Amino acid sequence: MATLEIRDLHVSVGDGADATEILRGVDLTVQAGETHAIMGPNGSGKSTLAYAIAGHPKYEVTSGSVTLDGEDVLAMSVDERARAGLFLAMQYPVEVPGVSVSNFLRSAVTAVRGEAPKLREFSKEMKQAMDALAIDPAFAQRSLNEGFSGGEKKRHEILQLEMLRPKVAILDETDSGLDVDALKVVSEGITRFASGDTGVLLITHYTRILRYVKPDFVHVFSAGRLVAEGGPELADELEEEGYEKYTKAGASL
């Protein structure tokens, strides 16, 4: 049973005197079978948390710890974190011309599983996952993220989840740019993934995705800290009242 533990995490951006502290002591535990929603206004540190866990070089962890099943995540390289079972769906995925979706997925599956899947088995597995996400079979031969619509990029991220089966998935603004139909399909994919022995950390600014993906826990970020925690009812409160009182709470800490 996977467990991601974040303890007193402090993260800065910039060098020396120009460094700015973004995260100011974050504590969070995500266990297998749990879906955690991270909410908060723009600039509150939500995406910084995701990128720091994934190992983005722009973000410097100045203190604190991140462990996955007791192993020190911060001591791992980016690829080691992926092989250990961490997955990050980025808000703005990079275009990679000349690399097909199919080749990318097979390379990723090979890296995570430690051996290349047989082509016939991989093709069958990929087709099943694409069918579940209502993805056109021709999508597999397109260059990675090149010319993709917002919905196609998000479907592809969930397709990666289906294929890679990480221990913990960190989904950053997965609902960004989705129309209602795409949102439903993507949400169904997240729910399928989260129903097993895996954990989900879902970062979002709006509550609309939480109408389809039911979180077990909701956490509110403000000024680089977690200032409130609760169940799904907290998301309903945010929908009605907004972030103002939590923004004030973060500023006062």
Enclosing domain of residue 43: 3-87+151-158+165-252
176 vs 89: CA distance, rounded Å: 12
> Is the residue at 23 inside a domain?
yes
Q: What is the CATH number of the domain that holds 31?
A: 3.40.50.300
**Tens of pLDDT along 130-180?**
998 889 999 999 999 888 888 888 889 899 998 999 999 999 888 877 888
Q: What pLDDT was estimated at residue 249?
A: 60
Least confident of 60-64, 65-69, 193-197, 231-235: 193-197
> Is the residue at 102 inside a domain?
no
Phi and psi at residue 125, in whole multiples of 5°?
-65, -45
Paired residues of 68 in beta bridges? 4, 71
> Is the residue at 40 inside a domain?
yes
> Is the residue at 25 inside a domain?
yes
Structural contact between residues 91 and 120, judged by C-beta atoms closer than 8 angstroms:
no
Contacts of 15 (CB under 8 A, 6+ apart): none
The DSSP H or E segment spanning 89 is strand 86-89
Domain count, the chain: 1
**Tens of pLDDT along 173-225?**
888 778 888 888 889 989 988 877 889 999 998 888 998 999 999 999 999 99
Average pLDDT of the segment spanning 13-28: 90
> Is the residue at 231 inside a domain?
yes
Q: Residue type at 24?
A: R
44 vs 182: CA distance, rounded Å: 27
